[in-house]
Amino acid sequence: MSLRQWSGAAPAKVNLRLVVFGREASGYHRIATVFQLLELADRLELEAGEGDGVELELTGVQRGALGPPEENLAVRAARAFNGALSARGRRPLGVRIALRKNVPHGAGLGGGSSDAAAVLRGMSRLSGHPLSGVELMRIGATLGSDVPFFVSRASRALGTGRGERILPLEPLPTREVVLALPAERVSTPWAYGRLARARAGAERSAREYTPRPPSGCWSGVAADAVNDFEAVLFPLRPDLAEIRGALAAAGARPALLSGTGSALFGIFGSEAEASAAERDLAGVRAVHQLIRTRTRDPAHG
């Protein structure tokens, strides 16, 4: 009997390091980043149906908050998967997607990209694994630069190119994480545009940057932590700078902006330290939302 239902998690991520280089002919910037999965995750349930239709049931967010259903990355991933099946002469798979959103959207935590990756994995399972992992990652790269990382299932990885070239890294011991978000989100295109204006032709060349191998310990991660967007965005968004400063003052190592934001995160060595940081951050005017989570244990899959 063929499998008709699949359920799984779509975990969030943070960027432990994010260096941005010049713009490619495609219009995308080259980057070097270190991704880290979190336990915070959306939940998906997929049910195979007749025909090739794709339906989405979305909960956990206000209706319309994520735009039209056809633009949702989970729906686009399902259609891209079916396109790959059709190209192989295989019958497309109708699917109903029930998506429960727990990861804040538009926060630099990769929620939509992770949803897309989960749909690709789930549809692969429902259809008997007709596509290889490499093919799934290629499909993912057409949907978003972060999607291949989530498809890879690595808990920590180096991303290069546009972020889609993935090198899995040795997992680090689980750590407590506090996520702090301001009320106002940050648009990724706007952030890249501000970065390009700030550099005004003096963009960092990939040839001038020889990356150190990513650290294999948390103290090394903290020493290497950098996000090129902070220098550009913090003068324009003092609320982001205030939150990062509060995380650092609470003992986070590192405290950093994730992606282009708006989420900032702090890594803590113990539950007691993270709990104390939560209490401190709750009194910070710029903080609109606090989320407590952990780095994802690879043993949990």
Tell me which of 42, 115, 146, 228 is the catalytic residue.
146
Q: Which two tokens stand for residue 29?
A: 């910037």
Cα–Cα dist 49/208, whole Å: 52
Element (H, E) at 22: strand 5-23
- Angle of helix 133-143 versus helix 73-87 axis, rounded to 10: 130
Amino acid at 1: M
Q: β-strand 156-160 against 176-181: which pairing, if any?
A: unpaired
Residue 13 among the catalytic residues: yes
Q: What is the DSSP letter of 208?
A: G
Residue 146 among the catalytic residues: yes
Q: β-strand 54-59 against 5-23: which pairing, if any?
A: unpaired
- Residue 111's CB is within 10 A of a number of other CB atoms, namely 25
Cα–Cα dist 149/256, whole Å: 20
Instruction: Give the 3-state secondary structure of 114-129.
Output: HHHHHHHHHHHHHCCC
Q: Give the catalytic positions in this structure.
A: 13, 146
